[in-house]
Amino acid sequence: MITVKRHGEDSSQKVISNFLKRVKKSNLVARKRKTQFVPAKLSPLRKKRKALQRISFEDKKALQDKVSKV
């Protein structure tokens, strides 16, 4: 929690400015933005489909390599 206290005759503008400086220095906003959009974990069915897709792509690629060498 970031807090700023008013010192003596500080204006409200000065207090806000000090608060914003502390927020920037703490890097809080940047860290929150980084974790804001976390992709959802894949379900087992999606994992399986991706694996099958990858295998079929690798098979097609291997076949193309064989044909191009001949």
**pLDDT for res 26:** 93
Measured between alpha carbons, how far is 20 from 26 in angstroms, rounded to an integer? 10
Q: What is the pLDDT of residue 34?
A: 87
d(CA 21, CA 19): 5
Same domain, 3 and 13: yes
What is the reported pLDDT for 39? Answer: 83
Q: pTM value?
A: 0.48
Is 33 found in the same domain as 1?
Answer: yes
pLDDT for residue 51: 97
- The answer to whether 16 touches 25, Cβ cutoff 8 Å, is no
Please indicate, yes or no, whether residues 11 and 23 belong to a single structural domain of this protein. Answer: yes
58 and 32 belong to one structural domain: no
User: Taking a C-beta distance cutoff of 8 angstroms, is the pair 23, 29 a contact?
Assistant: yes
Residues 28, 2: Cα–Cα separation, whole Å: 10
Residues 27 and 46 in one domain: no
Please count the structural domains in the chain: 2
Range of the domain at 27: 1-38
Query: pLDDT tens digits, the chain, 70 residues: what are they?
Result: 888 889 888 899 999 999 999 999 999 898 888 888 888 899 999 999 999 999 999 999 999 998 987 6
